[in-house]
Amino acid sequence: MSWQPEVDELQWRKQLAQQMGGAEKVQRHKDAGKLTVRERIEAIADPGSFQEIGALAGSGQYDADGKIAGLRPSNLVIGHAQIDARPVVLMGDDFTVRGGANDGAVGDKLVHAERMAGDLRLPVVRLVDGTGGGGSVRNIETKGHTLLPEMRVWQHVVENMSLVPVVSLALGSVAGMGAARVAASHYSVMVKGLSQLFNAGPPIVAHIGQQVSKNELGGSQIHTRNGVVDDEVDTEAEAFARARRFLSYLPTSVFELPPRGAAPAASADQQWLLAAIPRDARSVYKIRPIVQTLVDPDSFMELGGKWGRALATGLARIDGWPVAVLASDPYHYGGGWDRATSDKLIRFVDLAQVFHLPVVNLVDVAGFQIGVDAEKSGVMRSGVRALAAIYQTTVPWCSIIVRRAYGVAAAGHQHMGRHNWRYAWPSANWGSLPIEGGLEVAYKAEIEAAQDPGRKRAEIEQRLRRLTSPFRSAEAFVIEDIIDPRETRARLVDFVHLAARLRQPGQQAFGIRP
């Protein structure tokens, strides 16, 4: 006698799981402009590569003879797949089954998926569309008791941040632990209008007297500007493309090295860099075109562009080698670090360190943000944490000082306790304080005693400015080399080839901070 009846039941159960929450709920989900969890998996994974784990998990309904009559599947789909021919662990919430909230199997499946990623050293991609926490209040009646909040999965979530790349896509309204899972990532994305993220949704918030819509409470326009989420996109398809691109720069785990891509046949025209920095120190300029000129064509992927805006951060390639790019943006606080910028730098430098990415830093730093609001924000606390993150790095680092480097913030342009590469453009100038700010203090008595204080001040400023030329500093070996801006890419190509020899796989001595 064969086991065909059991095999038939196995196939029947799998067919029931494929129906998700049923035709009516699936249609309602799609009418809201959303893909189902299985459509999402098909869209992000290489065709035919997804191998599901735990497809039979859920709540079965049985007839009087004990035969299965129906199945409400678990609302978390997990498995492993290929993305661009590289293995990953995929997990996706099924909003059509109890709104993606936890049921008895979800907690175990979450733990299984996260542990699988860590133990197999595979990247994690989370497709988050629900709470993913302890379920709804209805569970009180169902279980007959309340649950003490705990997160058995969180040990693995934290460990994975220091082991493997973690990507989370918020693809609906995510709350509670669902929101925490999005934030606990190396890269996260929300879809405009489709995604919301909050600690608790509008019905609960209404009890504290705030009547708001989901978007007003936790839309992408909020969380991509406060640093909770890295990027926002217009469609789910764009979110999947961003996830694939992000992973392409990183190794499969910290025990490997970032893969080199193809070296470009040609680079961008470098000639315009000669006039990229204005002679007027008060004039601003756009830093992103400079970055895009120096790295391989179309390779710069900016991360977190809508928060911590005094610093542009992103991944790129130089002669095919993946690098982490920091670039001061003078359009925001003159490139000075406020608290958000400092926090952004910490997170990004940790990413580079954990995944063995050499750092390229384009420096135009006026110092830490100053003023009453800056002091009230606690900028110094975040600022010194940023400096600590830089001084924890061991990855190769190359700084290009394109204009200003002033104050304590500028002292963090690289780790000064070990060898790093450093160049300055002729437009560069530096010091403990900008002349225009420090002159009033240092020469106060002389200026006040003059018959014409304004003229005396201008005379002193002109005298000092003659001494601020970077060539004077080069004579004293304060700066190693001053270069023609048009030579910068060639120097960076040299840097990445030397740096490639120094990269070492392995886990860091410290854990990454979400």
**What's residue 437's pLDDT?**
59
Single-letter amino acid, residue 12:
W
Nearest to 482 by CA among 402, 372, 396, 405: 402
Between 79-88, 124-133, 193-202, the lowest mean confidence (pLDDT) is in: 124-133
Which is more confidently placed, 290 or 102? Answer: 290
Q: Is the pLDDT of residue 457 over 90?
A: no
Cβ neighbours around 454 below 10 Å, total = 9
**What's residue 43's pLDDT?**
97
pLDDT per residue as tens digits for the range 301-329: 999 999 999 999 999 999 999 999 999 99
Nearest to 322 by CA among 263, 390, 268, 270: 263
Single-letter amino acid, residue 315:
L
**What's residue 323's pLDDT?**
98
pLDDT per residue as tens digits for the range 1-36: 799 988 988 888 888 888 877 788 888 888 888 999
Q: Is the pLDDT of residue 411 over 80?
A: yes
State pTM to two decimals.
Answer: 0.90
Q: Is the pLDDT of residue 202 over 60?
A: yes
Cβ(229)–Cβ(223) under 8 Å?
A: yes
Q: Is the pLDDT of residue 475 over 80?
A: yes
Per-residue pLDDT band for 497 (boundaries 50, 70, 90) equals very high
Residue with tokens 């204005």: 278
Helix, strand, coil percentages (3-state) for the chain, rounded to 5, are 40, 20, 40
> In the predicted model, what is the mean pLDDT of residues 71-92?
93
**What's residue 399's pLDDT?**
97
Per-residue pLDDT band for 169 (boundaries 50, 70, 90) equals very high
Can you read off the two tokens belonging to residue 131? 């709470």
- Distances from the Cα of 34 to the Cαs of 102, 173, 191, 388, in angstroms? 20, 11, 10, 43
pLDDT per residue as tens digits for the range 100-150: 565 545 678 899 999 999 999 999 999 999 875 555 556 666 667 666 666
**What's residue 315's pLDDT?**
98
Which is more confidently placed, 74 or 150? Answer: 74
- The angle, 0 to 180 degrees and rounded to 10, between the axes of the packed helices 339-354 and 379-392 is 20
Q: Is the pLDDT of residue 199 over 60?
A: yes
**What's residue 11's pLDDT?**
87
> In the predicted model, what is the mean pLDDT of residues 480-505?
96
